[in-house]
Structure 1
């Protein structure tokens, strides 16, 4: 099985194919979110598995809650959290009115400029450590 390296991390054929299957305007944002997830995991020294769930790139840490990134019907791309966690509620409370949020499951983006490494990095860090901090 061939692998591709992006942002210094190994990517499986399946994940690479998923990214390759979407339009460039969405792909650029998803790759920026991917880099933020993987960099945050590295900073936290949290192992993270990159895999496909429902055909979408997913990031799973042993002591965390799954994150997914993909396109969205109301935006070019989105960062998804598990809808049965308090992650989106906590994010909405910490940063009221700063993001377009789809219920309790996703932050919506249309451009890469909307990704804030600090604000969205906090949500990612919280998801990657969710089970150890509840």
Structure 2
């Protein structure tokens, strides 16, 4: 079950272009669905980090923080961000370089006008939200 959007997160979405906000809300739902599918992840804490919606595994400490937001203040792109000192983006590149676009060691970048590759993204989210179980 997807939690109601907290007011502070809704405020972030309300201050974005409608198309970008809609994509981020879909991405948020995918994050909660991914967590619900894996009991090792446990409940997520939704908060803001650096003014961006952030999802933490506070109860289980199973994973690293996942953040979502517009990418570099671009109306045409949005991203999933993970901690840059993990090896997650490198691993994502090995698995999904033909399906996903990456930036540096911290982001998966999406175009607002393209569909989210759901299965690949869910796998990447699972890897992030269970990162400490393998690290």
Is the TM-score greater than 0.5?
yes
Superposed CA RMSD in Å reads: 1.6
Aligned match of 1:3:
none
Residue of structure 2 equivalent to 1:116: 117
The unaligned stretches of length 5 or more in structure 1 are 1-6
Distance 1:63 1:69, change over 3 A: same
Matched length: 128
Query: Does residue 133 in structure 1 map to residue 134 in structure 2?
Result: yes
Q: Deviations over 1:52-110 (max 9, x none)?
A: 00110000112100000001126521111111101100010012232221111111111
Q: Is the CA contact (8 Å cut-off) linking 1:29 and 1:112 kept in structure 2? A: no
Could you tell me how far apart the structure 2 residues matched to 1:18 and 1:8 are? Answer: 18
- Structure with the higher fraction of residues in strand conformation: 1
1:83 aligns with 2:80: no
| Residue 44 of structure 1 pairs with residue 43 of structure 2 | no
So what's the TM-score if we normalise by structure 1? Answer: 0.88
Q: Which runs of 5+ in 2 are unaligned?
A: none
2:20 is the alignment partner of 1:26: yes
Q: Detail structure 1 runs of 4+ shifted over 3 Å in the superposition.
A: none
CA-to-partner distance for each residue in 1:22-63, whole Å, 9 max, x for gaps? 111111111111010000001112211110001100001121
